[in-house]
């Protein structure tokens, strides 16, 4: 590039650094400054709810706008409850996603957002004979048997004299002896109606019914013209406040069904942040140290690009008000590992050009030119899986996909544009006459990889068959609550506790078959059980272990409908990723290469799932995210070799197709080892230091990195040799 171009490239890089720093600093709360990044509930604690508005019993006209009306009412309730920065948004035709930072009282939260709050006024029948008939199962015509808040049976006339639509205000008050109650007032029309009702039914009992439960049934002593009344009952102050809020916000237009709810204790969130940052720093430090030692000056330039890559990523997340989740931190770490690949590709190409005795300027230019197409191909194929994961996933998984997508785009800019500008600047100043690098392999090996391809085929088939058999044999135990539905809670005990003792306690409440997992080196236990069994489990554990207190760090509840939908989405995400990558490889290469790539990706997915099953782990949404990420990583590696094979076939070198494949694998082996090593370092940091929440994700990634490297060399490339007409030239 010319000196003239440097005049605008360096200021552009400086501007990018300044703008990114402005938007990214400080990323987290520090020194009294509020962090620029919005943390997900898994990092700060709180509740995530998936609600469905049941409009099945509404008229077509009433269905219109029912979800928007429900969102408005839920938002009013939450605002009055005092939740800081809640997130409430529609999803699909009838779902509402609610995020409540800092709220961990599940029962109170569900009551707040899920209570229909249909307020009705009905007359109580004092006819004892009719009540006895109703209790015997023969409810008289025109009457309905209700339960009171004190669990008493009351017979009410069906006629609703008035509803809460005329309610003007509701506040907590106090009865004569300090007992909390709820005082309400009606608008002018409601006040007149209430006056007429109380005047017409003197000395009768007026039941105040909320969501089909009688809150109180006082005797009407005199006509009430003021339009004001009191709901009494055995309320706690919190109960009275909650009732006042729900009444004031209004009745929901239709019943709310809670399909999924997740609760994370703030203490677990803080631990997750600490563990995630620690894993990130360890992984990043390992990569930075390796690059600096192995590539020397080039490594220092690459490390600056990596730092800028992270800065741009954090700035983009902050600018777009994206939410950083724990899987998102994993995405940042993984981005670092995969971004190194672009630098390794460039440096290894420069090394090859220098070996041909080219001057530094020519070697640098040729290295960037030859590496660019491969970098573009590998990043775009990884981006395909990230985009599909974003649109098919939900919650933290979308955070991971978004982070990975931004990171990949940033790495293209930093690895190709920024590093080249720095090298050109050094060249112009006369500070870069050569590039000294260490040699992992002094010279390319001359191994015949295709010679053992059939043995590798057989080995892979055996592992897949055994693993898939184990997958099927485990049945529903193979799937996490994400896919099967159910409850999951993570408990932290004060003292060490044995799994068998917990299982014995669970058996007393019919949950003896629940999955119990101890978190290594801690007093934490993860329990996966049937849906909504968590309350019975915790109460029984308190009874059985009174001297070993515990706290609930995390709780997830997934309904069967959501679990089924997630299974379907997971399958579609896998299929669409494979199809997207296949189409791209067909376009960039040809059908033969695309078949080899597709077979390799299927191999990687099946081998990874097989080893997850054999390791006794569950298939969950984070594990699925890891599998899809592995596809992107694996195709990245495969395309590097495919590009080299195509380059060989376009050259004038006289060699067979078999020799071209072996030569290409050998020539890129140093890059394959280096890239695998750097990605392996960061994923290992996630596995050992990232905490239990992303341990399954990290384990799957570790398996996938090894599997992806193996399949590139011993599956994808050899398949080209076994393709009919394999000695023909590839498409130019």
Domain termination site, one of 114, 143, 159: 114
Domain termination site, one of 215, 249, 283: 249
Assigned domain for 150 exists: yes
Same domain, 354 and 456: no
CATH of the domain at 241: 3.30.1360.200
Same domain, 532 and 596: no
CATH of the domain at 514: 3.30.70.100
Phi, psi (5° rounding) for residue 215? -75, -40
Assigned domain for 258 exists: no
The pLDDT of residue 727 is: 53
Instruction: For residue 155, list its beta bridge partners.
Output: 145
Assigned domain for 434 exists: no
β-strands 524-529, 515-518 pairing: antiparallel
Assigned domain for 33 exists: no
Instruction: For residue 205, list its beta bridge partners.
Output: 219
Same domain, 309 and 366: yes
Locus of tokens 């004060």: 494
The pLDDT of residue 729 is: 47
Query: How many residues in total does the chain contain?
Result: 732
Assigned domain for 259 exists: no
Same domain, 621 and 706: yes
Assigned domain for 650 exists: yes
Same domain, 128 and 16: no
Over residues 606-660, the pLDDT tens digits come to 999 999 999 988 888 788 878 877 887 788 788 888 888 888 877 777 778 888 8
- Closest C-alpha among 336, 537, 456 to residue 721: 456
Over residues 280-331, the pLDDT tens digits come to 788 888 889 999 999 999 999 999 999 999 999 999 988 888 778 777 777 7
Assigned domain for 235 exists: yes
Same domain, 282 and 404: yes
Please state the rounded mean pLDDT for residues 552-558: 83
CATH of the domain at 55: 3.30.70.3400
Over residues 261-271, the pLDDT tens digits come to 888 877 766 77
- Closest C-alpha among 317, 343, 342, 344 to residue 329: 317
Q: How confident is the model at residue 726 (pLDDT cuts 50, 70, 90)?
A: low
CATH of the domain at 411: 1.20.1640.10
Q: How confident is the model at residue 700 (pLDDT cuts 50, 70, 90)?
A: very high
CB neighbours of 22 closer than 8 A, spacing ≥ 6? Answer: 315
Over residues 103-132, the pLDDT tens digits come to 878 888 888 887 777 788 999 998 999 999
Same domain, 553 and 568: no
Domain count, the chain: 5
Contacts 24+ apart (CB under 8 A), 363-367: 363/435, 364/420, 364/423, 364/424, 364/427
Same domain, 137 and 242: yes
Same domain, 282 and 235: no
Same domain, 123 and 110: no
558: tokens are 């997934």
Assigned domain for 240 exists: yes
* Cα distance between residue 9 and residue 378, in whole Å: 25
What are the strands, taking DSSP E only, across 457-549? 486-493, 515-518, 524-529
Over residues 135-179, the pLDDT tens digits come to 988 999 999 999 887 788 999 999 989 888 788 888 888 877 788
Same domain, 219 and 166: yes
Same domain, 165 and 107: no
Domain extent for 60: 46-114
């Amino acid at each position: 590039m010319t000196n003239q171009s440097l005049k605008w490239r360096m200021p552009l890089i400086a501007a990018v650094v300044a703008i990114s720093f402005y938007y990214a600093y400080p990323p987290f709360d520090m020194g009294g400054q509020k962090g620029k990044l919005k943390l997900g509930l898994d990092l700060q604690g709180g509740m995530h709810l998936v609600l469905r508005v049941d409009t099945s019993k509404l008229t077509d006209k009433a269905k219109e706008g029912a979800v928007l009306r429900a969102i408005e009412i839920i938002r009013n309730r939450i605002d009055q409850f005092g939740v800081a920065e809640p997130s409430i948004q529609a999803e699909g035709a009838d779902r509402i996603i609610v995020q409540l930072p800092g709220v961990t009282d599940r029962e109170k939260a569900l009551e707040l957002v899920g209570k229909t709050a249909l307020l009705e006024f009905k007359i109580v029948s004092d006819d004892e004979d009719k009540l006895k008939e109703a209790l015997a199962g023969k409810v008289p015509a025109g009457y309905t048997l209700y339960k009171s808040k004190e669990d008493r049976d009351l017979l009410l006339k069906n006629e609703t004299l008035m509803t809460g639509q005329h309610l003007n205000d509701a506040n907590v008050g106090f009865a004569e002896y300090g007992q909390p109650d709820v005082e309400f007032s009606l608008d002018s029309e409601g006040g007149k109606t209430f006056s007429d009702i109380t005047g017409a039914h003197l000395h009768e009992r007026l039941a105040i019914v909320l969501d089909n439960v009688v809150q109180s049934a006082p005797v009407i002593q005199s006509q009430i013209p003021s339009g004001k009344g009191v709901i009494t009952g055995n309320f706690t102050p919190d109960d009275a406040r909650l009732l006042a809020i729900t009444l004031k916000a209004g009745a929901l237009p239709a019943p709310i069904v809670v399909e999924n709810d997740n609760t994370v204790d703030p203490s677990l969130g803080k631990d997750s942040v600490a563990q995630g940052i620690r894993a990130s720093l360890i992984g990043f430090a390992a990569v930075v140290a390796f690059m600096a030692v192995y590539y020397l000056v080039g490594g220092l330039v690459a490390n600056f690009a990596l730092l800028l890559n992270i800065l741009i990523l954090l700035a983009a997340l902050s600018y777009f008000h994206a939410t950083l989740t724990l899987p998102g931190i994993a995405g940042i770490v993984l981005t670092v590992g995969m971004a190194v690949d672009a630098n390794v590709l460039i440096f290894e190409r420069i090394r090859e050009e220098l070996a041909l005795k080219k001057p530094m300027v020519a070697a640098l230019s040729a290295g960037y030119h030859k590496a660019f197409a491969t970098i573009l191909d590998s990043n775009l194929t990884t981006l395909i899986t990230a985009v599909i994961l974003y649109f098919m996933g939900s919650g933290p998984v979308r955070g991971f996909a978004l982070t990975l997508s931004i990171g990949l785009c940033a790495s293209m800019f930093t690895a190709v544009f920024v590093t080249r500008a720095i090298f050109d600047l050094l060249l112009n100043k006369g500070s870069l006459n050569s590039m000294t690098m260490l040699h992992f392999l002094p010279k390319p090996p001359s191994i015949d990889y295709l010679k053992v391809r059939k043995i590798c085929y057989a080995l892979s088939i055996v592992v897949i068959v055994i693993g898939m058999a184990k997958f099927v044999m485990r049945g529903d135990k193979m799937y996490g609550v994400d896919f099967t539905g159910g409850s999951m809670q993570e408990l932290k005990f004060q003292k060490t506790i044995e799994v068998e003792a917990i299982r014995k306690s669970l058996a007393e409440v019919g949950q003896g078959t629940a999955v119990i997992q101890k978190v290594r080196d801690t007093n934490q236990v993860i329990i996966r059980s049937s849906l909504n069994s968590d309350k019975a489990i915790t109460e029984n554990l308190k009874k059985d272990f009174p001297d070993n207190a515990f706290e609930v760090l995390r709780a997830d509840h997934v309904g069967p409908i959501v679990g089924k939908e997630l299974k379907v989405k997971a399958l579609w995400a896998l299929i669409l990723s494979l199809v997207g990558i296949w189409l791209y490889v067909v376009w960039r290469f040809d059908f033969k290469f695309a078949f080899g790539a597709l077979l390799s990706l299927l191999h990687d997915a099946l081998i990874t799932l097989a080893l997850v099953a054999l390791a006794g782990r569950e298939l969950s949404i984070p594990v699925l995210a890891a599998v899809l990420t592995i596809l992107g990583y694996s195709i990245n590696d495969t395309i590097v070799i495919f590009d080299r094979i195509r380059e060989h076939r376009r050259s004038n070198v006289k060699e067979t197709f078999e020799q071209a494949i072996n030569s290409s694998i050998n020539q890129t082996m140093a890059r394959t080892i280096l890239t695998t090593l750097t990605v392996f370092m960061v994923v290992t940091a996630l596995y050992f230091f990232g905490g239990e929440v992303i341990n399954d994700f990290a384990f799957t990634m570790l398996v996938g990195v090894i599997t992806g490297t193996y399949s590139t060399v011993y599956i994808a490339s050899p398949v080209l040799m076994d393709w009919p007409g394999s000695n023909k030239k590839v498409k130019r």
